[in-house]
């Protein structure tokens, strides 16, 4: 994430275009190079018609297949788990990694349910806790930053949250595929009132000025002026430090948001927590540490549901070995 004060007009325009393309015709994506994506989208549309329990169960099996089909991702997931949970044995790491791939598969079913029109029987139950924290924060009139992380349930969670918020904005990362990006944009318009590319910081500040609640997950940081090395589960990782700056610039309240699948097909839990006291502070180093502690607590509640496919411990500088280098045999 780039520092708010360094956003350019071109990036702001890019964010606006990404959020507003949904009215264009899909006929421009007729070329053969898009056919595999069309097959994938057709599969999602078909499975969106299933009862949600059946869709989840079907895609969990697909996730088990992905464990074998994606060896590179499998290695990244295992390595991340080894770093973050050194107390686990090799067998426990392997079991957790396999369950994570099942949850990746389940997330595809949830994308289908969130992006496409679904019959009533396909809509899963959701329990939302802590709405009083959100309502109290919105009553201040400065907007709300919903601080969270990248969990596999993010698509369905936003669909459940939208009816509870007068103006809900979603920050997202554009896809590499133009067709998939188009469909993601259309789908996100079902799960939020406004969708913004993650580079459109001025757009985010504008929405906060309109007293919107903005879904914001800064846990996948890259090298930028708003990223610094800070501990993540005790290991240095590039960490976004811009949340407190955004809160200070906008006056918005930062409300932690956690969401997860419940056991035994009981649906979903979304939990809004009380804002951190004294946040933002004058200590730009302590603020992201406090937020990281919140995120770590969320992850420990359901580690199999966090997106471990992201290489969290890359780009750490010349003083660090490559955390994802293959071990000599």
- Per-residue confidence at 10, pLDDT binned at 50, 70, 90? very low
Q: Tell whether 83 is covered by a domain.
A: yes
Q: Tell whether 322 is covered by a domain.
A: no
Q: Tell whether 20 is covered by a domain.
A: no
- Residue with the two structure tokens 């944009």: 185
- Per-residue confidence at 19, pLDDT binned at 50, 70, 90? very low
Is the predicted pLDDT of residue 307 greater than 90, yes or no?
yes
Q: Tell whether 113 is covered by a domain.
A: yes
Host domain of residue 300: 27-305
Q: How many CB atoms lie within 10 A of CB 154?
A: 23
Lowest mean pLDDT among 73-77, 170-174, 291-295: 170-174
Give the model's pLDDT for residue 121.
Answer: 61
Q: Tell whether 255 is covered by a domain.
A: yes
Determine the Cα–Cα distance for residues 196 and 20; give it in Å rounded to an integer: 9
pTM of the model: 0.88
Q: Tell whether 12 is covered by a domain.
A: no
Determine the Cα–Cα distance for residues 308 and 100; give it in Å rounded to an integer: 8
Tell me if 137 sits within 8 A of 253, measured CB to CB. Answer: yes
Closest Cα to residue 247, out of 198, 288, 299? Answer: 288
- Per-residue confidence at 16, pLDDT binned at 50, 70, 90? very low
- Residue with the two structure tokens 């019959």: 119
Give the model's pLDDT for residue 329.
Answer: 57
Give the model's pLDDT for residue 13.
Answer: 35
Phi, psi of 127 (to 5 degrees): -110, 125
Residue 37: partners with Cβ closer than 8 Å, 6 or more residues away: 29, 177, 179, 180
Which residues pair with residue 239 across a beta bridge?
228
Q: Tell whether 165 is covered by a domain.
A: yes
- Residue with the two structure tokens 């606006």: 16
Phi, psi of 38 (to 5 degrees): -60, -40
- Per-residue confidence at 104, pLDDT binned at 50, 70, 90? very high
Position with higher pLDDT, 146 vs 20: 146
Determine the Cα–Cα distance for residues 133 and 12; give it in Å rounded to an integer: 30
Determine the Cα–Cα distance for residues 136 and 147; give it in Å rounded to an integer: 16
Instruction: Write out the two tokens for 23.
Output: 């009215």
Tell me if 235 sits within 8 A of 84, measured CB to CB. Answer: yes
Per-residue pLDDT tens digits for 204-233: 999 999 999 999 999 986 656 678 899 999
- CATH code of residue 197: 3.40.1130
By residue count, the chain amounts to 329
Q: Give how many domains the chain has, as a whole number.
A: 1
DSSP line for 245-305: HHHHHH--EEEEEEEEEPGGG--EEEEE-PPPTT-S-S-TTHHHHHHHHHHHHHHHHSGGG
Q: Which helix (H) or strand (E) holds 229?
A: strand 227-232
Q: Tell whether 3 is covered by a domain.
A: no
């Amino acid at each position: 994430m780039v520092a708010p004060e360094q956003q350019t007009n071109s990036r702001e325009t890019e964010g606006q275009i990404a959020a507003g393309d949904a009215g264009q015709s899909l006929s421009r994506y007729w070329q053969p190079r898009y056919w595999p994506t069309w097959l994938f989208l057709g599969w999602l549309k078909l499975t969106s018609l299933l009862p949600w329990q059946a869709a989840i169960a079907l895609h969990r099996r697909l996730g088990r297949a992905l464990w074998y089909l994606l060896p590179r991702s499998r290695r990244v997931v295992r390595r991340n788990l080894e770093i973050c949970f050194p107390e686990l044995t090799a067998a426990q790491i392997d079991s957790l990694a396999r369950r994570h791939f099942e949850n990746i598969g389940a997330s595809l079913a949830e994308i289908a349910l969130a992006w496409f029109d679904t019959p009533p029987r396909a809509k899963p139950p959701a329990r939302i806790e802590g709405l009083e924290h959100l309502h109290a924060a919105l009553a201040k009139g400065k907007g709300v930053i919903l601080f969270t992380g990248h969990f596999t349930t993010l698509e369905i969670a936003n669909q459940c949250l939208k009816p509870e918020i007068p103006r809900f904005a979603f920050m997202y990362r554009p896809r590499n595929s133009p067709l998939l990006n188009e469909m993601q944009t259309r789908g996100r318009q079902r799960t939020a009132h406004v969708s913004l590319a993650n580079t459109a910081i001025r757009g985010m500040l504008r929405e906060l000025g309109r007293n919107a609640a903005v879904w914001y997950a800064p846990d996948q940081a890259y090298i930028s002026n708003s990223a610094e090395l800070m501990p993540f589960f005790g290991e240095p990782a590039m960490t976004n430090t811009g949340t407190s700056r955004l809160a200070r610039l906008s006056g918005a309240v930062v409300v932690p948001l956690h969401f997860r699948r419940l056991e035994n097909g009981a649906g979903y839990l979304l939990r809004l927590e009380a804002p951190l006291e004294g946040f933002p502070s004058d200590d730009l180093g302590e603020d992201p540490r406090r937020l990281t502690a919140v995120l770590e607590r969320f992850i420990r509640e359901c580690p199999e549901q966090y997106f471990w496919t992201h290489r969290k411990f890359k780009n750490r500088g010349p003083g660090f070995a490559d955390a994802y280098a293959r071990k000599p045999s």
